[in-house]
Amino acid sequence: MGITVRIRKNLSAAFSIELDFESSSGALGILGPSGSGKSMTLKCIAGIEKPDEGYIAVDGRTLFDSTKRINLRPQERRVGYLFQNYALFPNMTVLENILSPPPSPRPSPPRSTALRRAGAYRWVERFGLEGLENRYPRRLSGGQQQRAALARMLAAQPAAALFDEPFSALDSTLREYMQLQLQELLREDECGVFRNAILVTHNRDEAYRLCPELAVMKNGSVIVKGDTRCVFQNPRFVSAASLTGCKNISPVRRLSENEVFALDWGLRLRLNGSAGDLTHIGIRAHDLVSINDPAPTGGGFNEVRVSVSRLSSEPFEEVVLFTNADARDPSEKKEIWWKYSKYMGQAVPEKLFLPPEALLPLKDG
């Protein structure tokens, strides 16, 4: 049945969160910039913060309902919360931390201490914490602390699991390892705890890798929600495109039913479909295509003659920032990003092509 959230909470005279969404995919990613209300959303679900009004439920079980004056305490909600700083008890060992949550209220009989201890060791083994059971958090690395915090949350058998930017403090290698480990857990049925999960992040790759469903937040509201891959393919709004990693976005002037003029680039662009009421056009840096033949191939549409302004290298990619060499007005010379594999072994071509199927029709917002 998933997680249902319909709430409003005023945080200041100028800012409030107003949310209305449901998640039944198993893992919902919430992507947004700092200050957009992502963490506050999790705190309201967990019961750490109280909305001004609304309704929150997990699998049909009401956690908060302002009209019925229902507001379960955090320990009654059966909601696991992995904080950014992991929030391990500093005066408890790893094993004591894992055993620290009281058994969640369930219709089945409570488990004995022996069963809880056996369950704790299951997660110790699962997260590679053998030999660390008697260590205190201060003697653990960041990755070990995170694994201990995950084990503690799972040992409590939550009905929903909330992750607040859980990998932000880890180095890139450990971050990828922990992402893969969490990905395995999100796909497992045996745990019975990740059928409802929400992961808050500002990392688009993290959201794409881990979450089959994605919500993009801006200024306290969800502006786009849907299948993660569909949201990346059609973000619909300028802010959503930017948050999902699109570096090339330009306002446009409509020329015809399926043609626009990109004002920042001085380019005529032909779309796959109708221009509709779009206000901007976008294209991801990897989607531009090299044209090795300098002769015209598209009748002037969707082609740009390259004037390189900056070059840089990433570990596996070359990055080219360029402007339209044919643009005459300075306002049409905003830089365009192009990224390509350095293993292609090619020089920067004279022209690049913007495939109509790769263009993102966008609205301001």
Give per-residue pLDDT as tens, 122-164.
889 888 899 999 999 999 988 889 889 988 988 888 889 999 9
Give residue-wise pLDDT tens across range 162-175: 999 888 777 777 77
Highest mean pLDDT out of 63-67, 95-99, 313-317: 63-67
Name the CATH code of domain 3-235 (choices 2.40.30.30, 3.30.470.10, 3.20.20.70, 3.40.50.300).
3.40.50.300
- What is the C-alpha separation between 197 and 207, in angstroms, rounded? 12
- What is the C-alpha separation between 205 and 166, in angstroms, rounded? 14
User: Tell me, what's the pLDDT at 87?
Assistant: 85
User: Is residue 190 pLDDT above 50, yes or no?
Assistant: no
User: Is residue 111 pLDDT above 70, yes or no?
Assistant: no
User: Tell me, what's the pLDDT at 268?
Assistant: 94
Mean pLDDT, rounded, for 229-235: 96
Give residue-wise pLDDT tens across range 32-73: 988 899 999 999 999 999 999 999 999 999 999 999 999 999
Q: How far is CA 302 from CA 84, 289, 291, 356, in A?
A: 44, 10, 11, 7
Residue 342 structure tokens:
């350095």
Domain ranges for the chain: 3-235, 246-362
With tokens 């900056």, the residue in question is: 310
User: Is residue 105 pLDDT above 50, yes or no?
Assistant: no
Mean pLDDT, rounded, for 319-325: 96
Largest pairwise CA distance in the chain: 78
User: Tell me, what's the pLDDT at 127?
Assistant: 85
- What is the C-alpha separation between 201 and 211, in angstroms, rounded? 11
Share above pLDDT 70 across residues of the chain, in percent, rounded to a whole number: 92
Give residue-wise pLDDT tens across range 239-264: 999 999 999 999 999 999 999 999 99
Helices (H), 221-326: 228-233, 238-243
Q: DSSP of 112-163, one letter per residue?
A: PHHHHHHHHHHHHHHTT-TT-TT--GGGS-HHHHHHHHHHHHHHT--SEEEE
